[in-house]
């Protein structure tokens, strides 16, 4: 079966510090990968998606970036965090062709920027 | 206007009540529709897809009205364990699964 891992589960970072969140998927090949952010009291916002290694599309311009160095690894980064970057970051995967019951979400990273 | 709009709630209902969630979407080209459930401080999980003819899964009934761009979820005989936030989700046409999430409606079922 497929599983998706994210770490860390929680993170508290000062403004201006760098960020690296990692997501890995097991049990599937060539998945579509996604980074979503959920701010307090708001819906999930799609930040990035990737259909393959090295292929990243950004949905929202911001100070975050994403990379996909391996087929089942997706990394979210920032050089300098802003207060507005606080939120619940969720990685998700789906089959490339799009299935009826996906995407599937990882457990998320709760980021607080102080 | 938000792409997917939901009543934020919260809905506070007693056990056994019937509760209805409503959702509207703005993109008439949207092709697929879902309801996700999100427990407090957890990731969203797919509850059910919404089909044009309407569909039922136990106590849960989902309906879609494409003409009105409206989706609904009905929960009958509410249980304490139904307490969660219910997210309306719309999938746009295109080559990847771009899902647009509503902000969610919080449900609290009390004894």
- Give the pLDDT confidence of A16-46 residue by residue, as tens digits: 999 999 999 998 888 989 999 998 777 888 8
Name which of A62, A82, A60, A70 is nearest A22 in CA terms: A70
SS3 state of residue B99: strand
SS3 state of residue A84: helix
pLDDT digits (tens, 9 = 90+) for B26-84: 988 888 899 999 999 899 999 998 988 889 999 999 999 999 999 999 999 999 999 99
Which candidate from B42, B49, B101 shows the least CB-CB separation from A44? Answer: B101
Mean pLDDT of the region B80-91: 94
Please enumerate residues of A whose Cβ is less than 8 A from a Cβ of B: 32, 34, 36, 41-46, 49, 51, 88, 90, 94, 98, 100-108, 110
- Contact list in A for residue B101 (CB cut-off 8 A) is 36, 43-45
Looking at residue B2, what is its pLDDT?
80
Looking at residue A100, what is its pLDDT?
57
Confirm if A89 and A37 have CB atoms less than 8 A apart.
yes
Name which of A37, A49, A41 is nearest A82 in CA terms: A37
Which candidate from B43, B99, B100 shows the least CB-CB separation from A108? Answer: B43
Decide if A102 and B87 are in contact by the 8 Å CB cutoff.
no
């Amino acid at each position: 079966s497929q599983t998706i891992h994210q770490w860390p589960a929680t993170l508290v970072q000062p403004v201006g510090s760098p960020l690296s969140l990692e997501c890995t998927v097991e049990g599937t090949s060539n998945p579509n990968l996604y980074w979503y952010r959920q701010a307090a009291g708001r819906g999930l916002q799609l930040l990035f998606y990737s259909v393959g290694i090295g292929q990243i599309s950004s949905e929202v311009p911001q100070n975050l970036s994403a990379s996909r160095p391996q087929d089942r690894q997706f990394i979210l980064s920032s050089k300098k965090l802003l207060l507005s970057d606080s939120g619940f970051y969720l990685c998700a995967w789906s089959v490339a062709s799009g299935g009826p019951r996906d995407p599937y979400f990882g457990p998320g990273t709760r980021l607080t920027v102080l | 206007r938000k792409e997917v709009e939901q009543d934020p709630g919260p809905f506070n209902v007693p056990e056994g009540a019937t509760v209805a969630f409503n959702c509207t979407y703005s993109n008439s080209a949207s092709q697929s529709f879902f309801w996700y459930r999100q427990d407090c401080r957890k990731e969203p999980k797919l509850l059910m897809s919404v089909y044009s003819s309407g569909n039922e899964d136990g106590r849960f009934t989902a309906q879609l009205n494409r003409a009105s761009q409206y989706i609904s979820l009905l929960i009958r005989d509410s249980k304490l364990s139904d307490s969660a936030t219910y997210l309306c989700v719309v999938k746009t046409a295109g080559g990847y699964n771009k899902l647009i999430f509503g902000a969610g409606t919080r449900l609290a079922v009390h004894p």
